[in-house]
Structure 1
Amino acid sequence: MLRTTARALAYLVSSLVAGSIGLVWTLAATLGVGLLGITQLGGPVFLGAAWITRQLAGVERHRAGWVLDQPIESPYVPVPAGPVRQRVGAVAGQPATWRDLAWLVVLFPLGLAGGIAAVVLTVVDLAAIVAPAWAWAVPNPRAPFPVDPLMTTTPGRFALSLLGLLLFAVVCWLLRVLARGQVTVARALLGPGTHRRLVEHAAHLAETRARVVDAQAAELRRIERDLHDGAQARIVATGMTLALAARKLRTGGEAASDVDLARRQLDDALAELRRLVRGIHPPILTDRGLHAALAALAADSPLGVELRGDPAERYPAAVESAAYFVVAEGLANAGKHAEAASCTIELVRTATTLSVTLTDDGRGGADPAGSGLAGLRRRVEALDGTLTLTSPVGGPTILYAEIPCES
């Protein structure tokens, strides 16, 4: 508590100086930019003033960390290189530029009031605590009651010291409250705002879209390769077998074995096509929904799987597909790598999201950056969702996906 109070006191007292510097700089910058704005120096002066303002605001973010235990996060969006006019527009277009300036103006009255209150509270309380050491030297025969007995008598001075000790906790609390109140305003003005969050969100969406495009291209190549090496090869072999059987029939030979072989080859090709279709989008998802598809997946798994969720709930097709493949990959990894014996799948629907949690009792130690999970993460992030893996050594492993699912 004493350390927190000391940092709060340091923040409030230093605000007296910081507020004065901020006010002087704001007036000087506003006057300088206003006078030179109509000249060729207007752009460079504005950029220079904005840079200094950001440095001062950065100091304020670090000072706020004395109370918050960590500095306030920077709110700025990177300014692209280019002509002065373009950079001026980019800096001026950021709300953080003007919120920095607003804070430097607001800091002066806040710092003045909070700093003076902190100094007065601290000095008065400390003075009361050490009253026996100094009060005897300043007699005041005209002091009113009860100041006169407290200051001029030895029992009174010790009583004053005891009162100061009793009020010490209250003074510490008041200092922390004053500091937190000022820091709350600082965080509102100096912290990241809606503009930066929107820019970061747009950049994130652009990145995930690019990854999804790459993943789709890779998926198309895989499908083409599987068709060429699997079903197509089997169908070609079937055609050759049937051609051989037809030749035998024309010459009066026995073709029954070739027909049987062709039938088996067609069965294998059909099974290959079905496997390929299930890898793209299982038909059961469309016909019966996510819960039924996961129940079928669990039935085919060698693990003991418990499925929790509403069997009648339906979700958008893209959401069901993403959730299905998250569970499919999780079950495969649990059986292949984690040496798990049982697994729990839980589906939770809220007003805006579908949460999928897969927990296994395996040995843990899974790599969150593995290639399989990276593909799943791209699939989930393409829907603006999140995928996390918690897998301490020794287990359990928890695969958690949260996918936006508007009702």
Structure 2
Amino acid sequence: MTQPVAYRAAIFYSLGDPAKVGLENSFAWHEDGVLVVADGHIQDVGPAPEVLNRLPAGTQVVELENRLITPGFIDTHIHFPQTEMIASYGDQLLDWLNNYTFPEERKFADPAHAARVAKLFLDELLRNGTTTAMVYGTVHPQAVDAFFTESERRNTRMIAGKVMMDRHAPEFLLDTPESSYADSKALIERWHNKGRQLYAVTPRFAPTSSPEQLDAAGRLLREHKDLYLQTHLSENRKEIAWVKELFPERSGYLDVYDHHGLLSERSIFAHSVHLEDGECERLHATGSGVSFCATSNLFLGSGLLDLARLERFDVNVSLGTDVGGGTSFSLLQTMNEAYKVLQLQQQKLHPLKAFYLATLGGAESLRLDDKLGNLLPGKEADFLVLDLNATALMHARTQNAQTLYEKLFVLMMLGDDRAIESTFVYGKCQHGKNGV
């Protein structure tokens, strides 16, 4: 065992969903706390007087005055090939794919291009405090290899997969049911559970996969019981109408995926803005999750996710930036947009709920809450050091905050990458200045 390092600062993390356990039971807060890290894991956490008293003699204590330690953020829906087309003007979903996304993704046939963008993408994630993400590749297996190679180098816990897409896209991006199965299987054998890397079967969305390809995706999930599934669901009303035209024999959009065996406790459906009650019931029954991509839904004009409705059906919900439809890698900014989406529906997003969705909620949706999501002893040491005074405006506003709730709300409304002073991955500083 390596020598532990203790970090002294204010410490906050979630213990449960505020909608289920109540606000007061949903978090831990140590105004003067200590987090002890060794061998990539949390060894101890609690009030400073108690933890310091039980530290082994000679343990190094890093004093982080006026700083806040939280778990690393978890982004459950993002596209690494869309990094350099973020903020593309003027289209809604289907035109945006044809005019911007598909031409950009063509470049990822070149492994050198994929490797360069993978580095930029992971730099941006860590700069914004995201330590785990569920990531789309492209149709090219070499691009997924490049992504996992860069993630393995940093020891980040990432979930990624090769896009499966055999129709309704440019010829240069199409695979086949057979090739998508073979390429995905080879990537699974090469990367799934290699260190902290995990694999997600990734049909882009129902319109771009034939029934035969969706069958191939289901076959992969049956053959490897701990794989993930990521895809899009009910993002845009024109998209939903298209799915109904393509699959008239199915009762709805979710039923297309259900028919092919793609719903499970490790399945994440991005967006899910326009669901029917029966679809909510089926998501709950199968343990499937929804990634709430507020920034992207606003940018592409897709619609407003009804969080209260998903809570009534007890559907797992987490947050996704959905870069490049989303316009920021920052989950703080995503919380900001989620708050506004819910305000438009006369709902409120409490800051405790927002931080839950960005941390423990993401871990629970991904079935990784035994490893990630908060700072309890035994968890992997992915954590952030935040500066609540990162800008003059944040400093001025925080000085007027009377409660923890208020301070967290200021952070989620005014914070961005500037508030992320340091990002620690498996106990090592991978961004910022507080490494030891």
Fold shared per TM-score above 0.5: no
Q: TM-score range by the shorter chain?
A: under 0.3
Q: Which has the higher helix share?
A: 1
Q: Radius of gyration: which is bigger? A: 1
Q: TM-score, normalised by structure 2?
A: 0.18
Q: Which has the higher contact order (CA 8 A, sep 6+)?
A: 2
